Amino acid sequence: MTAEQLLFLAVGAVTLIASILVVTSPRLVHAGLWLILALAGVAVLFVLLENGFLAVVQVAIYIDAIAILIIIVVMLTRAVMRETDPQINRTWVLAGMAALLLFGSLLAIVLQLPAPIRPALLDPESGLDVLGKALVDVNGFILPFEIASVLLVAALIGAIVVARAPMRGD
């Protein structure tokens, strides 16, 4: 058991337990905070996969924007659901079985891979600038990049319009 494997097991356990607590916490504010812990655990796993840039992007996008947004919306809609209402609906048995079935099938597929797979050698030259150039390269990924930008602008305008307070005369 090398140190790296121990580290992976520790971080993975924290992330998995946090995500289980997200979906089972009766109080939504707690669920939001466990979600932040799970997202931070995924960021640490990105660092273990030797991609520090995407780890920092994960923290910046998910924790600093999406998670805060979710917690704010939880607070804004708080008065509706009393904390003592059951938060799991009546089909939870079927949902649990579906999730377990999916996990079983994925496990079966994954275990068929030849093991162990060693990580390929990381080219020290390739790094952030290669990624940046590929994103704007005409033969590269400029089309998904631009479409993602258009998607974000559309989402921005859509979110503002949808969540706007109703104007007088609506």
What is the torsional sign of CA 117, 118, 121, 126?
positive
Using alpha carbons, select from 88, 70, 79, 75 the residue that is nearest to residue 32.
70
Q: What are phi and psi of 40, to 5 degrees?
A: -65, -40
Using alpha carbons, select from 132, 153, 147, 142 the residue that is nearest to residue 53.
132
Amino acid at 132: G
Nearer to another protein, 119 or 169 (CB): 119
Long-range contacts of 30-34 (CB under 8 A, 24+ apart): 32/67, 32/70, 32/71, 32/74, 33/71
Q: Minimal distance in Å, beta carbon 53 to another protein?
A: 5
Q: Minimal distance in Å, beta carbon 168 to another protein?
A: 15
Which 60-119 residues touch another protein, going by CB under 8 A? 60-77, 80-81, 85-89, 91-92, 94-96, 98-100, 102-103, 106-107, 110-111, 113, 115-119
Site mask for another protein (CB under 8 A), range 111-150, x = bound: x-x-xxxxxxxxx--xxx-xx--xx----xx--xx--xx-
Site residue total, another protein (CB under 8 A): 108
Q: Minimal distance in Å, beta carbon 6 to another protein?
A: 10
Site mask for another protein (CB under 8 A), range 15-54, x = bound: xx--xx-xx----xx-xxx-xx-xx--x--xx-xxxxxxx
Nearer to another protein, 89 or 168 (CB): 89
Q: Is 1 in the site for another protein (CB under 8 A)?
A: no
Nearer to another protein, 123 or 138 (CB): 123
Q: Minimal distance in Å, beta carbon 71 to another protein?
A: 6
What span, in angstroms and rounded, lies between the C-alpha atoms of 74 and 82?
12
Using alpha carbons, select from 66, 80, 77, 6 the residue that is nearest to residue 32.
66
